[in-house]
Amino acid sequence: MNKIKDVAVAGAGIGGLTVALGLAQQGVDVTIFEQASVLAEVGAGLQMSPNAMKVLRQFGLEDTLRPYAFEPQQATIRHFKSGEYYLKAPLGQAAIDRYGAPYWHLHRADLHHVLVEACQKAGVTIQLGATVTGYQKSDQQNSVVLCLQDGSQYETDLVIGADGIRSVIREQMLGKQAPDFMGQVAWRGVVPVSKLNAIHVQPDACVWAGPGRHLVTYYLRGGEWVNFVAVEERGGWQSESWREEGDINELRSAFAGWHPEVTELLLAADSTFLWALNGRSSLRTWFQGRVVLLGDACHPMLPFMAQGAAMAIEDAYVLVASLMSKPLPDALASYEILRKPRAVRIQNMSKDNTGLYHMHGGLFGQMKLNAVKVASQFVPSAIQGKLDPVYGYDVVKAAAAWC
């Protein structure tokens, strides 16, 4: 079998690092090309659900990540003003018992740091300040050339485009097309618990649902920090940048009159970053020749199922498994066949949650939340029925059966 021996990865985000680690652990020479001059992540949290944790465990990272983790006890939805609970779904030990892996909250920078160290230990080369501009055919039949902004080139067996929603690899493969602004922006930030004297934030993965906006809170780093993601619907995004420093007073004003657990948290925040929430329609293909896409480069999604990073991690595992078990053309086809339907399904679920979290439809929106409350109290199996296909999915087993 003509297995690959050398791989170039565009992008040192969560997905790029994970796939690089998986390949390096299989003896493949991997070089990551990252345009940033310093490896750093914006201060924000990630929800690592059991489906993602199974991959991190398989790659030997669970014990290393444990000291950084916070384990929430419930997933909840609450009324923006009264604090009434619409949903209480057990996590903690219940998640481990039901899904076979924990549900953890991690600081993005901590996961990124652990992945970088694991990659370096496994022999991955990480080139910083290396901006990828595209790829081209090689004179050699079994290789492809990655092109860099400084004019240099790197010949390799395979190029993996893990370079995010504005991927230059995707653009060359499928044509130039700006991402779709999804009509929403998100403020993100962290607050040290030591600053929260007036309130106690519940140790849950909590969604505060309100008219035209919602806010998510959860703990990080063993409970030392509270992470928040505040989402507001907007008609347009005027900035040329997709991410910028946010106005903390504008954020506080947008959520004025909400429950004290929200307003006091935002009052304690010193700064925030503002993101435009963008997306793309399903791509017609994820690969071309010896080039393949991964993560946000091929399936960006709204964060309303907290599965963006998890999907990139799942992608990484399947791509590695496919490449290690099949010749290249079949491997890339198998990767897309196994991953695309699930990624599209999670994209749609995330988009559908907008109406629920933002009380779309006035009274009808309130009725939908009340229906969730009734189901949560009296028919919890209905709630689990929605979460089980997401959290209970075992990509390690799925890849073993498929690949």
Cβ-based neighbours of 398, under 8 Å, separated by 6 or more: 318, 338
Residues near 161 by beta carbon (within 8 Å), at least 6 away in sequence: 10, 11, 167, 168, 169, 170, 173, 291, 292, 293, 294, 297, 298
Selection from 329, 333, 296 nearest residue 318 by Cα = 333
Which of 85, 103, 218, 393 is flagged as catalytic?
A: 218
Token pair of 371 as six digits: 């229906």
Distance CA 245, CA 267 (A): 17
Q: In terms of DSSP bridges, do strands 291-293 and 158-161 run parallel, antiparallel, or are they unpaired?
A: parallel
Which position has the token pair 């035209």?
212
Q: Is 218 a catalytic residue?
A: yes
The DSSP code for 178 is P
- The runs of H, that is alpha helices, within 269-307 are none
Residue 193 DSSP symbol: G
Burial class for 255, CB neighbours closer than 10 Å (0-12, 13-18, 19+): buried
**CA Rg value for the chain:** 21
> Token match 């091929």: residue?
298
Compute the distance between CA of residue 314 and CA of residue 339 in angstroms, rounded to an integer. 8
CA dihedral 341→347→352→355, nearest 10 degrees, is: 180
- In angstroms, the CA 245 to CA 274 distance is 6
Catalytic residues: 218
